[in-house]
Amino acid sequence: MSDTSFDSSQTTEASFGDYFALLKPRVMSLVVFTALVGLLVAPGSVHPVEGFAAILFIALGGGASGALNMWWDADIDRIMKRTQKRPIPAGKVTPDEAFAIGIALSCLSVIMLGLASNLVAAGLLAFTIFFYVVIYTMWLKRSTPQNIVIGGAAGAFPPMIGWAVATGGVSIESIMMFAITFFWTPPHFWALALFMKSDYSDAKVPMLTVTHGRRNTRIQIFAYTVLLAALSVGMSFTALNGPVFLATAIILNLLFIKGAWTILRRNEEQAEGDNYAAERSFFKLSLLYLFLLFTAILADAVLVRMGVTFGGWV
């Protein structure tokens, strides 16, 4: 055969966008936003170029851990409907490529963050990548229903890293921002697990819906929502005291508890009947919850910088 023509549909050569998709851009946007808030509300000033570089390398570190997560989880990503279109199960990027990109970007992001800001921030970023890839992805995810409870810490570190970029350390305020994201993660993911139905059981991932049943998951969502509400409103009277944060926390937590209460009172027949409308709506609300709560923290910090006071509040 001397015909050198070929069919492009048979090739699996990745485009630039496929490599970018390895970095989980949607998760990265959350990392960027919370890290930026941590950086901006921290005392002290950072040169805009240093701040930009720091946020970029924090995002890159988060993206690198996403690539390593996709490398390790390629087998279960092929089974779950939600993840079947990811670059590896879709056949666009090979697992080896994902591993190489993940390792290379992890090293680059930590080293560059250390050079651009300080060693505390770089150390926290390195620990975050280690925690997400080794502790969560490799260990907890397939072994315990507490996977996303403990693993949620990985997603909660970015505001602490942003704070460390500005201050070179850790303080009560940055730990509180960590705590908000940490306690927000379980209700957020369990709502997703409820309406993804059989995805996790098909992949044999021991999510709470699989190991303890869907009824128990509804109870746990409500319990964690109440805990999160108490924590975030309580924080308004401590280091994160500000009128915007208090008002936002009260409104958002009332809505969040209402959503969790609706989920608690429903059974599977009702949920199937409206295609998990309440669970989907709670999941969307959870995204808005975190975004608005961190925006409120930022707003209070801006008010303080502008010298605006509300009768001793800020």
Partner 1 sequence: MSNFRPDHELHQRRRGRNFGLLAVLLGFVALVFLLTVVKVQNGGKVEAFDHTARPSLTTPEGGQ
Binding residues for partner 1, per CB under 8 A?
A: 3-6, 8, 11, 13-17, 19, 47, 49-50, 52-53, 56, 115-116
Rounded least distance, CB 52 to partner 1, Å? 8
- Nearer to partner 1 (CB atom), residue 55 or residue 296: 55
Mapping DSSP to helix (H, G, I), strand (E, B) and coil, where does residue 206 land?
coil
Rounded least distance, CB 18 to partner 1, Å? 9
| Ramachandran area for residue 169 (φ above 0: left; ψ -120 to 50: alpha; else beta) | beta
Q: How many helices (H) and strands (E) does the chain have?
A: 15, 0
Rounded least distance, CB 47 to partner 1, Å? 5
Our measurement of the distance from residue 311's CA atom to the centroid of its chain's CA atoms, rounded to an integer in Å, reads 36
Could you tell me the CA-to-CA distances from 20 to 46, 50, 64, 97, 294 in Å, in that order?
28, 24, 10, 12, 26
Rounded least distance, CB 24 to partner 1, Å? 17
Rounded least distance, CB 114 to partner 1, Å? 12
Q: For residue 64, what is the enclosing H or E element?
A: helix 48-72
- Nearer to partner 1 (CB atom), residue 11 or residue 275: 11
- Nearer to partner 1 (CB atom), residue 116 or residue 207: 116
- Nearer to partner 1 (CB atom), residue 41 or residue 105: 105
d(CA 150, CA 135): 9
- Nearer to partner 1 (CB atom), residue 103 or residue 304: 103
d(CA 151, CA 141): 8
